[in-house]
Chains A and B, each alone.
Chain A
């Protein structure tokens, strides 16, 4: 298993905020989602990973390379889409690409034109007339047109309408389809990204709350609906986001795989029911308990 992005004991301080003890590994060929509420430090983390901001401690390795020694190599292999991409506002999309092209050794102008068409962004439009979503897609097209095999995206779906969002998600899925390329995406909303992410990392107040394979995570976390008194008190105590509802109680359990056996009689008797949880449910539970 090849590790494309690796952070070790990463630290970055601000006046009122700090990223601390960030350790992570991203496998080649995967899509890793970094999720967390606003202010969790996602943007700072992806900037540091993408070498757009220095860390105050710890190390980041991209493709096994640390520091500035392989700058050009890393730059060619990395595509970065910032949270709010901005360019020369009075110039056109096409001009923007011409301006950016010399900074990449493997620039593919034909590929760029094709992507714009796919994203329905008019190359003759001036940047100041693009919507926020179109600017994101322009940044994505730039990142995809220089032969990068690692994409790091900051809030890519924010501000996108439903068509643009689908185009972006499709493109990301295709990007990793052959197993050789990798995506790291940070977002405060899961908004379709929960579908495509394979590895999930939750960030809260500058720290990693959880980092896990999505399938494993969704197998562990379930909603349980139950009638009063139906559950073993120990299990009931372990539930989070507990709420009484007209048709019974509902709570989230984080170790379903461990209690599944114990729950079976109650489930068979129709006294309780199990539902799938979403990443957002799990994040909410972890953040409110943290």
Chain B
């Protein structure tokens, strides 16, 4: 569950929906709003902080950090590359070529 919170906030930051300096609800407030435990939210915030997405200032709360969106994009590209590598590996075991995969991607895009 905490991963879901982390991912959702990361995505909102990467897409620009949440802008630098935007204030995040407190741990208690967000746990109440989503009806999840405070521990879940605390863990998510700690992860976001460690990864540089948010800043927590004692007594003031948590804010969206100034993030390098280009670096985030590069990070996502790296993730995608790893995923694609795995997909191509799976495909090759069944005689599915990279061209087949590209065709699949086009199909998905058009549908």
Interface residues of B in 1-51 (CB under 8 A from A): 4, 8, 12, 17-19, 22-26, 29-38
Q: A85-B29, A102-B4 are in contact. Are A90 and B19 (CB under 8 A)?
A: yes
- Inter-subunit contact B33/A139 (CB<8 Å): yes
8 Å CB contact of B33 from A87, A89, A95, A102:
A87
CB distance from A94 to the nearest CB of B (A): 12
Q: Complex Cα distance A88/B25, Å?
A: 6
- The A129-160 residues at the B interface (CB cut-off 8 A) are 139, 142
With contact pairs A85-B29, A86-B25, A87-B33 given, residues A102 and B8 touching in the complex (Cβ less than 8 Å): yes
Rounded to whole angstroms, the CA-CA distance of A52 and B34 in the bound complex is 11
B32: which of A75, A85, A89 is its contact (CB, 8 Å)? A85
Chain A contacts with B in 40-64, Cβ cutoff 8 A: 50-52
**Count of chain B residues near A, Cβ 8 A:** 21
Q: Does A91 interact with chain B (Cβ within 8 Å)? A: yes
Q: Quick check: is A19 within 8 A (CB to CB) of the other chain?
A: no
Q: Quick one: given A90-B22, A90-B23, A99-B8, are A85 and B17 in contact (CB under 8 Å)?
A: no
**Contact at A88–B22, with CB atoms within 8 Å?**
yes
- Give every chain B residue within 8 A of A99 (Cβ-Cβ): 8, 12
Residue from the list A84, A95, A103 in contact with B34, Cβ < 8 A: A103
Q: How many Å from the CB of A146 to the closest CB on chain B?
A: 9
CA A222 to CA B97, docked complex, whole Å: 86
Are A91 and B18 neighbours in the complex by a CB distance under 8 Å? yes
Nearest chain A residue, comparing its CB with the CB of B31: A52
Whether B32 lies near A80 (C-beta < 8 A) is: yes
CA distance A104 to B35 in the complex (A): 9
Evaluate contact between A78 and B23: CB separation under 8 angstroms.
no
B35 touching A78 by the CB < 8 A rule? yes
Whether a CB of chain B sits under 8 angstroms from the CB of A100 is: yes
- Which residues does chain A contribute within 8 Å of B34, judged by CB atoms? 100, 103
